[in-house]
Amino acid sequence: MRVYIFEDNTTNNFLPIVYTRAVFELKAGIKNILEKNLSNLEGETDIVLIVREYLKDVVAQRYPDYEINPNTFEDGLWINGRMLFSKEDIKKALDNKNTVYMVRGAFAIGYLDGKTASSMFKIADEIELKVDSAINTGGINPVVYNYFFEFPLRTAESIKEDFEKFYTKGEIKGKIYENVTILNKDKVFIAEDVVIKPGVVLDAEEGPIVIEKGAKVMANAVIEGPCFVGEKATIKIGAKIYEGTHIGPVCKIGGEVDAAIFHGYSNKQHEGFIGHAYIGEWVNIGADTNNSDLKNNYSNVKVWVNGQFINSGSMFVGLTMGDHSKTGINTMFNTGTVVGVGCNIFGSDYPPKYIPSFAWGGANGFVEYRFDKMIETARAVMARRKKTLSDKEYNLLKYIFEKTKPERSW
């Protein structure tokens, strides 16, 4: 069976995090959306990914076994990449061919013939999607993500769900030193080659804790579940990691973190608070950088989305920061601040709540971060982790630099 996982025409609602990745690569608990949907498919499948055209080469680099943006479509199951479907949802779609299941006016899932799919989708730098009013539709109830700031709000419950599905029970391997306290061991998974130093507290009484292969938790750190720590990540001495946190592979995390998502290879090594945040890859957060995630009047936070501030509907929204961005020491961010790709933020006082990609500066003003200088830093940072910036990744960053240039008019 051919299965198409597609981005729809709402991707701007997930910028800047999805400038450098597809929407279905966003973290929804322990796994990303793509991994979770694929886990509910049965039988042999050929996976096809439909993404914005400018992402095609980088996505193909990450998923060499999948077809990306084919020129023609065949009969197959179409799954919206910003939604999570159960096995029952998928079976319902397969049992009702050429029925388009809609959620809040959006195409969610459906088994379509190639001709129908071709009439609905146009792949470009923004996906165009049109559902013919004559097509049958039906009701279905997946988990739907409409904006980037929703992911940290749902991470705690999603980690619980993923633990039950992908881990099922506690298992403790690795090297656990004396004087480590583990509460509710049945909900703690510690993989091989993990090191847990003395004085660490792993508190899984409110939800599971997963620590993957090769990770290290240094002395006196406290981790409260639900929480996920990826492969070869390091939790620094005395760190305080609260529920609903996802820490990607090879991250280094210290200070205080609450309900935050860190993609791989990002660092927050020092004191400072990051909460209800979504942090991309290759980000470095300087010492004593803090974000507010709750307004003093306890009202809902307004967030910059797709060119305007919108009401998030939540009291808790922290920092969102795109890939390859950096902060200097003592940087402060107001509630709901959004920082683009490839930024360098520093200085005292609060910078604006929206900082476009490739910005250099802070509350006292900005200039454009020269592309060649930003790339020079990115290459140096990646080399320290024995990684290189591929030509495809370079071209993508160059595209983002040019695409966002009109926003840098200070």
DSSP labels for 178-206? TT-EEESGGGEEE-TT-EE-TT-EEE-SS
Same domain for 124 and 157: no
pTM: 0.96
Same domain, 180 and 327: yes
Q: 114 lies in which domain range? A: 2-144
Same domain, 119 and 227: no
Considering the domain architecture, whether residues 158 and 127 belong to the same structural domain is answered as no
Same domain as 154, residue 139: no
Q: Are residues 138 and 166 in the same domain?
A: no
Which pLDDT score, from 0 to 100, does residue 410 have? 86
Q: Give the number of domains in the chain.
A: 2
List pLDDT tens digits, range 391-410.
999 999 999 999 999 999 98
DSSP-derived 3-state class of residue 121: strand
Per DSSP, the three-state class of 354 is: strand
Q: From 109, 125, 144, give the residue that closes a domain.
A: 144
User: What is the domain-level CATH number for residue 273?
Assistant: 2.160.10.10
Q: What is the pLDDT of residues 368-383, one digit of tens each?
A: 999 999 999 999 999 9
Tens digits of residue pLDDT in 184-224: 999 999 999 999 999 999 999 999 999 999 999 999 999 99
384 and 274 in a common domain: yes
Average pLDDT rounded to a whole number, residues 172-186: 97
Q: Which residues of 161-174 are buried (b: 16+ CB within 10 A; e: fewer)?
A: bbbeeeeeebebeb
- Span 332-351, mean pLDDT? 97
Rg of the chain taking only CA atoms, in angstroms: 21
Same-domain check for residues 121 and 36: yes
pLDDT at 133: 75
Q: Which of 100, 126, 144 is the last residue of a domain?
A: 144
Query: Residue 104's pLDDT is what?
Result: 87
Using left for φ > 0, alpha for ψ between -120 and 50, and beta otherwise, residue 111 falls in beta
Specify whether 156 is located in the same domain as 93: no
